[in-house]
Chains A and B, each alone.
Chain A
Amino acid sequence: VDMKRNLTTLCGMLGKFGGTHNLGRPVKEAFSEKVQRRLATTVPPRPMAEMSFRDAVTKLEKMLQDIHAALLVEETGAFKDPCNLVNFLQFWNVREPLTFARATLQTWLFGDLKVAPSIEKLLLKDVKGLVLREDKLLDPINWTVEVPADPRHQIARLIDNFRQKASMDYQNMYQSFNRRSYLRKAEAIDTELHELSRENWIVEEDPESEPIPYFPLTYWVYHHKVRQMEWIVELGFEQDVYAPDELALMYWYLQHLTASRVEHLKRIRLFLSNRHERLLREDRNTEKARNMLLTLGYNTNLTAEAIAIHSLAFSLFTLYSLLNYLKLLGGEDRPCSSDRLRYQLRMKPFFNISTPELPAYVDVWDPVYASGGSQEQCNKAEDALKTAKERITVLKSLGPQEMKYVGNEVEYQNRVRQMLRSCIATGLAIASVRAACAKYGSEDKADSLHKDVLRSVLNVEIPNPETRYAAQWVVPKITQKKAKS
């Protein structure tokens, strides 16, 4: 492909720019305002930024590096599996690629060049990978039946219908990674996916063969929806959008979302294993059974990941609500606003979504004594960390095919390692608070004097995104100052 060849050549020139620059002479007339006016655009000439040659070269090199990394999507075959592709895009976007690079990759995958299979094919593969492996619903025979009254024909029609409706939003999902302007895009996706999921209960498996009714397409949509919501919340941490006293609320919400997804994955797993057993019993088809095992394996791995995220989020939520209770994170005296209004504003994108349900208001400022005091909070936080670490160990051992990160082996291992480090750091923070509470604190609810002492003893530092182990895990640094008695 021509484009690819040109870009590869360009990438090969990295590092060679600038060597002969001092031999050149600037030609200002080559891009003057007059020239700008002639460009095929109705936008009036903008003020032109003067960029030094060195800055320009740096920018060009970054662009080429981004494209070079993007080329890997084809070389490694990452595009073949939709989940893998999603992971690839996520990892790639961490480098904050320049617009041209993003546009190039998008054209590659979904534009005229169509490196990736069409969106509809990807969609179906995705659905298959999560819920409909070896299911009669996706049996190709269905599409060959022409008798309209035959349920198989109807099934084929319904699936096609779903595919058409969902493909727009599904494509949006890929594009939203490329743009990271998460709120608007994601809101649209969520509400539309939600609409879709309401329509899809018509597609049911024959209740006689399955003890529980199941809605595969709805389940698939729901899983993606919740995952998107989790990513949105995580992105907020990465972009440093939440104030210190909001961290408790946002980690609460993250663990709320992942808890729902864990339950959901278990539900899917149930009918996947039913189907697997049936295949072994009736069909004796070893290839199909093997495919089922792979899908089941992926479900297990996804579950492990979700539990890990849930546990660490829960631990941080518990820790931050304790810190809020001790008033160590500021934010009490805000003359123009109130906690409720701030909650309304912060959770605005999520209110229109009915599941997982979002309460009208969540009080994260004083749940501590509802659940038994500071030592109890620390215990809960530490237990959650244990679970997180266990799951992370599992994640570390998963290969690229099992966890769908072909093409990003290094990044994946880094991510797992960063998460583990975040767990350890959280443990240290909890230990500091626990020690201080044990020494200076009092478990008597009415005793505010000891809260003041604790406040003068503890120093909490919220690291900014660059200094964290992982951008989405905001672990506070807690140190003790000398107590003023």
Chain B
Amino acid sequence: MSNDKAAAPANLRYVQYDPSKEELYMAAIRQLISKDLSEPYSIYVYRYFLYTWGHLCYMALDDADNLTGVVVCKLEPHRNGPLRGYIAMLATREEYRGKGIGTKLERLAIDAMNAEDADEVSHIRPQQLALPVIQYSFSRQIVLETEVTNTASLRVYERLGFLRSKRLHRYYLDGNTAFRLVLYLKDPAEWQSRAGLMQDPPSA
């Protein structure tokens, strides 16, 4: 990392996104992410995530309200079973990398997904799960893909406890290979013993 990098701005605020902030921040989010990530995303991709799971998006803003980092996620039941968090995008301004901003955004996102307990369950339509809505938390896992060459990203996630579960050959449009990173937040066995009504989750 070069020496002429700016030090992390002294007063970084971490702000949770919500739809009312779209006019203010959507353009900046798109710009930061398209600069950082190799995959070309259209406006529809951003809307897909931010309209439904805006509350799982966190932004790092400096004094002047400039966007220095952002994380975008979603949280959905995975194949009629456990709730699976998916980290779609994480980007930090180049000058501010290596200062823990990415890690902090990650933690906020993971904690938010973790806290989606009783609330989360009530948002899911019972028909989707084919069983009565139950007031306990499902086993939880968080998943994302990143290029095998993206060592910075790998370091952020692996330090938090993610494991490389698969290698996806030529996953990206530009031919790069990806690792799928997964984090278990709750013990599947614990979840299975309580959910007598559910089928065994298919091996994913």
Contacts and interface: CB of A to CB of B under 8 A. Distances in A.
Interface of A: 46-47, 49, 180-181, 183, 187, 239-243, 246, 334-338, 340-342, 344-346, 348-349, 352, 360
Nearest to B141: A345
Contacts of A345: 141, 163, 165, 182-184
Contacts of B99: none
Given A334-B159, A337-B161, A241 B173 contact: no
A150 B182 CA distance: 56
Contacts of A187: 203
B110 interface: yes
A344 B183 CA distance: 10
A316 B40 CA distance: 43
Contacts of B107: 335-336
B163 A346 contact: yes
B100 interface: no
Given A187-B203, A337-B183, A344-B189, A49 B164 contact: no
Contacts of A348: 188, 203-204
Nearest to A242: B164
Contacts of B163: 243, 246, 342, 345-346
Contacts of A360: 189
Nearest to A241: B164
A337 B184 contact: yes
Given A337-B162, A345-B183, A349-B203, 20 more contacts: A46-B173, A49-B173, A181-B169, A183-B166, A240-B148, A241-B164, A241-B167, A242-B164, A243-B158, A243-B164, A335-B107, A336-B161, A337-B161, A337-B183, A337-B184, A340-B187, A341-B184, A341-B186, A344-B189, A346-B165
Interface string B2-39: 00000000000000000000000000000000000000
B160 interface: yes
A334 B169 contact: no
A-B pairs with lowest CB-CB distance, top 3: A337-B161, A334-B161, A341-B184
B159 A342 contact: no
Contacts of B162: 337
B184 A342 contact: yes
A239 to B, nearest CB: 4
A345 B110 CA distance: 17
Interface residues on B, range: 20 to 34
B185 interface: yes
Contact of B167 (A240, A335, A338, A344): A240
Main secondary structure of the interface of A (DSSP, over half): loop
Contact of A334 (B160, B174, B187, B189): B160
A341 B185 contact: yes
B49 to A, nearest CB: 21
Given A49-B173, A49-B174, A352-B203, A336 B185 contact: yes
B179 interface: yes
A334 B148 CA distance: 21
Interface in B164-204: 164-167, 169, 173-175, 179, 182-189, 203-204
Nearest to B142: A336
Contacts of A246: 163
B184 A335 contact: no
Given A187-B203, A243-B158, A342-B184, A336 B110 contact: yes
B138 to A, nearest CB: 14
Contacts of A243: 158, 163-164
5 contacts: A241-B164, A338-B161, A341-B187, A345-B182, A360-B189
A180 B173 contact: no
B160 A239 contact: no
Contacts of B173: 46-47, 49
B31 to A, nearest CB: 20
Contacts of A341: 161, 184-187
A336 B161 CA distance: 6
Contacts of A336: 107, 110, 160-161, 183, 185
